[in-house]
Amino acid sequence: MNFAEQNPDAIQNIVIAGGGTAGWMTAAALANALGKTCAIQLVESAEIGTVGVGEATIPHIQRFNEMLGVDENEFMRKTRATFKLGIEFVDWKQKGQRYMHPFGSYGDDIAAIPFHHHWLKLFRAGLAPKLEEFSLTTRAAYANKFMRPLDIPDSPLSTFSYAFQFDAGLYAAFLRDYAETRDVKRIEGKIAQVKLRAHDGFIESLLLENGELMEGDLFIDCTGFRGLLIEQALHTGYEDWSSWLPCDRAIAVPCANTETLTPYTRATAHTAGWQWRIPLQHRTGNGHVYSSQFMSDDEACAILLKNLDNEPLADPKPLRFTAGKRKKMWVNNCVAIGLASGFMEPLESTSIHLIQTAITRLISLFPSRAFHQREIDFYNEHCAYEYERIRDFLILHYKATERADSPFWNHCREMEIPQYLRDKITLFQNSGRIYRENDELFSVTSWLAVFEGQGIKANAYHPLADKMSVEELQARLADYQKVLRKCTSLMPAHGDYIQQNCRSV
């Protein structure tokens, strides 16, 4: 049955402008969701490089894989992926200090009160082991161990989560293959002009340099920073967040990987930014994110090269950006996904996640040719909220520092921060409480990890944590540590696990 027979207003042609991670994730997901009801075309040019944003992900990507029905081991083999249990932050609070932002949680709730209140109680009595002692994924990460969660009732081994670190170029190729076998048509070409309908400013077609005209009902802008459709044609405008997130440049370089495959990403703070380290099966990805206001490109490159595990495998590749987001991500019949919709540094590996949520949100609000404005507004409101909450979480990493060794850190420490973040910090300091509001991405665990890791202390804890005596709590926590120690000891080495399950050949 043809969908259009049912609904004359149905979208029948979708044009995706640009390939890359965003373009091909969108193509794959829409092909899967829409089936044969809709023709999907994607235009990209082999001459235009992709940024290959964020090679590290967060656990939500498993849902994307599930949605596509992708076999995880096959996906990992094809993208030379490793497993990821968290992000290690080095030198952020102060030089020489490190902490893990783990996936999964700390401890178990006790009598419906979150674990950390009980931990805080012991901590304030001077009796608490380090918070990280209560995170299975932190223990496993530091021991370079990994296994997928098991189904064992109440075991910590059944409740943690994990993500992947992969080659974004290979990921795009993997999804291109997926999309093309599901009838997405790839067109090689460069976009010369975006043609708008005169009467309402909707996009009518894309004119390619070779003269071909691509017409469509719905256009997805995956053209990266430039925002060829959303910005250059539709002049949507950009919200600049660089007063809070001053880094505006990055320089990336791969190097040979180390013998031990670490199951986590590392973010090491430097004097005017930070450096990522993402271990893959075949190489380690590195990059230095910095602020051009506080550091020259040459110095940034020198710092990067000095801090590699091994010899570089390619020439360093520079990138420029402005932290912020498009004022609207959906305008008329154009939806911007990926870097065309905004940019936040990959400090918490959120780039691919933002592509994923944009796609799932688009599918859930999938329009007809009527393009009702209320739905578009709704989409934009939700995207904006999501972006802003991630932004606030990123700002926390810069703001909550004791570093005073460079003008950059002095600036960050002293800067004004958004109201939402201020309130979140104050609530925690006053009462130990952390609330996850609406659809904000980062969980209580995430906020707690960064608060604790960067020196923000709570001065109180939940009053109901006093139901249990200090001695009872100590015994309970000691038991929990014992369980975690045992769980960790029984996990295989990360490298061995990959070898046995998903080694790329």
SS3 state at 258: coil
Long-range CB contacts (within 8 A, 24+) of 472-475: 473/110, 473/118, 473/121, 473/122, 474/122, 474/127
Say how far apart CA 240 and CA 222 lie, in whole Å.
20
Write down the least CB distance from residue 108 to other proteins, Å: 9
DSSP code of residue 50: P
Q: Which stretch binds other proteins (CB under 8 A): 173-181, 371-379, 454-462, 481-489?
A: 481-489
Binding mask 485-504 for other proteins (x = CB under 8 A): -xx--xx-------------
Q: How many CA atoms lie within 13 A of 196 on its CB side?
A: 16
Segment 288-307, which members bind other proteins (CB under 8 A)? none
Whose Cβ is closer to other proteins: residue 422's or residue 486's?
486
Write down the least CB distance from residue 72 to other proteins, Å: 14
Q: Which stretch binds other proteins (CB under 8 A): 75-83, 207-215, 379-387, 479-487?
A: 479-487
Write down the least CB distance from residue 157 to other proteins, Å: 6
What's the sign of the alpha-carbon dihedral 31, 56, 249, 385?
Answer: positive
SS3 state at 501: helix
User: Residues 6 or more apart from 102 whose CB is under 8 A from it?
Assistant: 85, 86, 132, 135, 137, 138, 141, 445, 449
Q: Which of 78, 84, 145, 399 is catalytic?
A: 84
Tokens describing residue 207 = 């004119």
Write down the least CB distance from residue 150 to other proteins, Å: 5
Q: Which stretch binds other proteins (CB under 8 A): 163-171, 350-358, 383-391, 484-492?
A: 484-492
Size of the site for other proteins (CB under 8 A): 16
Whose Cβ is closer to other proteins: residue 115's or residue 174's?
115
Whose Cβ is closer to other proteins: residue 85's or residue 347's?
85
User: Residues 6 or more apart from 23 whose CB is under 8 A from it?
Assistant: 16, 17, 42, 44, 172, 220, 222, 338
Is residue 209 within 8 A of residue 260, CB to CB? The reply is: no
Whose Cβ is closer to other proteins: residue 367's or residue 495's?
495
Is residue 4 within 8 A of residue 365, CB to CB? The reply is: no
Whose Cβ is closer to other proteins: residue 148's or residue 457's?
148
Write down the least CB distance from residue 496 to other proteins, Å: 11
Q: Per CB under 8 A, does 467 bind other proteins?
A: no
> 84 catalytic, yes or no?
yes
Segment 114-173, which members bind other proteins (CB under 8 A)? 147-148, 150-157
SS3 state at 474: helix
Q: Per CB under 8 A, does 483 bind other proteins?
A: yes
Whose Cβ is closer to other proteins: residue 185's or residue 486's?
486
Tokens describing residue 357 = 């949520």
Is residue 195 within 8 A of residue 87, CB to CB? The reply is: no
Write down the least CB distance from residue 501 to other proteins, Å: 10
Say how far apart CA 61 and CA 296 lie, in whole Å.
35
Write down the least CB distance from residue 160 to other proteins, Å: 11
Instruction: Write the DSSP string, 337-356.
Output: -GGGTEE--GGGS-HHHHHH
Q: Which of 320, 372, 457, 482 binds other proteins (CB under 8 A)?
A: 482
Q: Which of 474, 487, 498 is nearest to 128 (CA)?
A: 474
- Which strand (E) or helix (H) includes residue 484? helix 470-490
Say how far apart CA 304 and CA 302 lie, in whole Å.
5
Whose Cβ is closer to other proteins: residue 56's or residue 85's?
85
Q: State the helix-helix crossing angle for 373-399 and 351-364, rounded to 10 degrees.
A: 160
Whose Cβ is closer to other proteins: residue 124's or residue 476's?
476
Binding mask 310-329 for other proteins (x = CB under 8 A): --------------------
Write down the least CB distance from residue 107 to other proteins, Å: 11
Q: Which stretch binds other proteins (CB under 8 A): 262-270, 427-435, 455-463, 478-486?
A: 478-486
What is the set of active-site residues?
Answer: 84
Question: Site residues (CB under 8 A) for other proteins?
Answer: 147-148, 150-157, 482-483, 486-487, 490-491
